[in-house]
């Protein structure tokens, strides 16, 4: 990608709306280039907008995830931008969920997701939207890792006692009910 093309794409991404995010964008810029822009620490707004674009495109066209999920998992472990992490957690929730029939995560990949997600949900600066997605990721991992259920229950209860925002109350209560059904 030339510098001129990159500049044009970056400017477009700053002003594009969610309804415009589809695979047509991939005619202009590759998914790999969008993922690379997610890691731009010098321009956090661009990083957020490209992560947001990737999220919308991949959740609409989940077949494309198989091509890029190893890169995404690597980036997930490196990301510090909360806005990007919000998009990435949504994609990881899909990868761990029932709808995913195309990607089988290895034990090592699951452990990597587990470690990063714990660091996210334990960070006192973590925004609520990322926190509740992180708790959902931990729940989905607990379906395979039964030992995680007790930890997750305590974590959800801790967050509900600490700061029970409406989003956290709703998602936390739902997770506690699901955990009770599993036991």
Domain ranges of the chain: 1-104, 105-183
pLDDT at 46: 86
* Closest of 80, 86, 88 to residue 34, by C-alpha: 88
Contacts of 141 (CB under 8 A, 6+ apart): 96, 110, 113, 114, 117, 148
Least confident of 28-42, 79-93, 108-122: 28-42
pLDDT, mean of residues 19-47? 81
The answer to whether the beta carbons of residues 10 and 37 sit under 8 Å apart is yes
CATH 1.10.3210 describes domain 105-183: no
What's the pTM? 0.89
Residue pLDDT, tens place only, 142-181: 999 999 999 999 999 999 998 888 989 999 999 999 999 9
pLDDT at 164: 81
pLDDT at 183: 75
Q: How many residues make up the chain in this entry?
A: 183
């Amino acid at each position: 990608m030339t510098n001129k093309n990159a500049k044009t794409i970056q400017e477009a991404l700053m002003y594009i709306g969610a309804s415009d995010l589809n695979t047509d964008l991939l005619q202009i810029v590759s998914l790999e280039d969008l993922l690379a822009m997610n890691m731009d620490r010098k321009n956090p707004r661009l990083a957020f907008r490209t992560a947001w674009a990737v999220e919308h495109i991949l959740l609409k066209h989940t077949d494309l995830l198989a091509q890029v999920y190893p890169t995404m998992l690597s980036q997930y472990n490196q990301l510090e931008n909360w806005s990007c992490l919000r998009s990435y957690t949504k994609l990881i929730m899909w990868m761990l969920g029932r709808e995913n029939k195309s990607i089988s995560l290895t034990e090592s990949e699951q452990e990597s997701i587990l470690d990063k997600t714990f660091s996210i949900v334990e960070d006192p600066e973590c925004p609520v939207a990322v926190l509740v997605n992180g708790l959902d990721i931990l729940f989905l991992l607990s379906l395979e890792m039964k030992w995680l259920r007790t930890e997750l229950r305590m974590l959800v209860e801790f967050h509900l006692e600490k700061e029970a925002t409406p989003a956290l109350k709703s998602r936390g209560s739902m997770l506690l009910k699901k955990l009770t059904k599993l036991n």
